[in-house]
Amino acid sequence: MTAPSPRALAWRRRGAAFAAGWKQYASQRAGLVGLGLLVLIVLLAVLAPYISDQQGLDVTKATGGRMEPPSGEFPLGTDRVGRSVLLLTLWGARVSLLVGFVATLLSIAIGTIIGILAAHYGRWVSAGLMRVTDFFLVLPSLVLAIALSTVLERGVGTIILAIGLTSWPSAARLVRAQTLTIEARPYIERSKALGGGHLHVIGKHVLPAVLPLVFVNTTLAVGSAIVAESTLSFLGLGDPDPMRPSWGSMLRSAWLDSAVIAGAWWYLLPPGIAIGIVVLAFTMCGRALEAVLNPRLREG
């Protein structure tokens, strides 16, 4: 019998660490509830084309009356053109989640790269990168996002870019701070003395140590990206195509159609509550993850 290769052993160890982490995560009820909600919402959003008919979003084929209250046929009522609000909310989840995930990935990727580079190279690289970060940090991100979406073509892509480009500075600061503490450890010095170059030190030592923090930060940032998307859509900077509604654009049309004055609460509440639930679920997951991955919090 030959001994298992070190790579296999490393994977086995990672598997065991994951199992232990999951056990800790599962001991936190808020984290489990958040995760359950998220899985449900993501499943509904992904399966939307199979459990509902997208044709119902087409204004020309709407079957309902104008702002009908909830009924058996339309459980959450209809909007001004007679589309089902339930259907709109379901399809809105797809856009909101997509923007939330992709924009967060973009912003965290930029933030992680800038943060690690600034901390690793130090001196003028750090000074230069951190001034850029400070510039984006003091800039009102909503204004910048609005400016970007007016210059670029309106659409989901632009919104993702606008959110991604404005929300990375806090991630960069966080990652830089963490990288600095890792870089001060003697094992980095040992690695350099072994002959390791920049790529080796960053790839083998810094990145694996920073990743848990980045992961937690990502989870927490998705919520705020979804809120940012809703804000931009509400302000009319979102995708104009009525076949691709988002929760923000639903709120916008509800406001434009004077849903409050008409007393059409069913038009206003579902997207608003959906935003609240998703953001809450992400925050609950993020906090639980933080407690698992950040041992300093666990001690307290």
Three-state secondary-structure class, residue 244: coil
- Asked if residues 229 and 246 have their Cβ atoms less than 8 Å apart, the reply is yes
Q: Which span (6-14, 30-38, 213-221, 263-271) binds other proteins, by CB under 8 A?
A: 6-14
- Asked if residues 98 and 164 have their Cβ atoms less than 8 Å apart, the reply is no
Nearest to 211 by CA among 40, 2, 17: 17
Nearest to 294 by CA among 216, 206, 180: 216
**What is the maximum alpha-carbon separation in the chain?**
78
Residue where the block lists tokens 């040992």: 190
Instruction: List CB contacts of 282: < 8 A, sequence separation 6 or more.
Output: 34, 38, 219, 220, 222, 223, 226
- Asked if residues 137 and 147 have their Cβ atoms less than 8 Å apart, the reply is no
- Interaction of residue 6 with other proteins, rule CB under 8 A: yes
- Interaction of residue 194 with other proteins, rule CB under 8 A: yes
Amino acid present at 37: L
Out of 170, 191, 231, 283, name the contact with other proteins by CB under 8 A: 191
Out of 83, 205, 244, 252, name the contact with other proteins by CB under 8 A: 205
In whole angstroms, how close is the CB of 153 to other proteins at the nearest point?
44
In whole angstroms, how close is the CB of 216 to other proteins at the nearest point?
17
In whole angstroms, how close is the CB of 18 to other proteins at the nearest point?
14
Number of residues binding to other proteins, judged by CB under 8 A: 23
In whole angstroms, how close is the CB of 75 to other proteins at the nearest point?
51
State which residue, 13 or 29, has the beta carbon closest to other proteins: 13
Question: In the structure encoding, which two tokens stand for residue 44, read together?
Answer: 């509904």
Out of 147, 187, 273, 294, name the contact with other proteins by CB under 8 A: 187
In whole angstroms, how close is the CB of 11 to other proteins at the nearest point?
12
Out of 152, 204, 262, 298, name the contact with other proteins by CB under 8 A: 204
- Interaction of residue 236 with other proteins, rule CB under 8 A: no
Q: Which span (55-63, 90-98, 146-154, 203-211) binds other proteins, by CB under 8 A?
A: 203-211
- Interaction of residue 70 with other proteins, rule CB under 8 A: no
Say which DSSP state 264 is in. Answer: -
- Interaction of residue 10 with other proteins, rule CB under 8 A: yes
Torsion sign across C-alpha atoms 39, 40, 42, 48: positive
Residue 151 buriedness (CB in 10 A; 0-12 / 13-18 / 19+): exposed
State which residue, 3 or 138, has the beta carbon closest to other proteins: 3
Out of 54, 190, 203, 298, name the contact with other proteins by CB under 8 A: 190
- Interaction of residue 127 with other proteins, rule CB under 8 A: no
In whole angstroms, how close is the CB of 229 to other proteins at the nearest point?
36
Residues of this chain that bind other proteins (CB under 8 A): 3, 5-6, 9-10, 13, 185-187, 189-197, 200, 204-205, 208-209
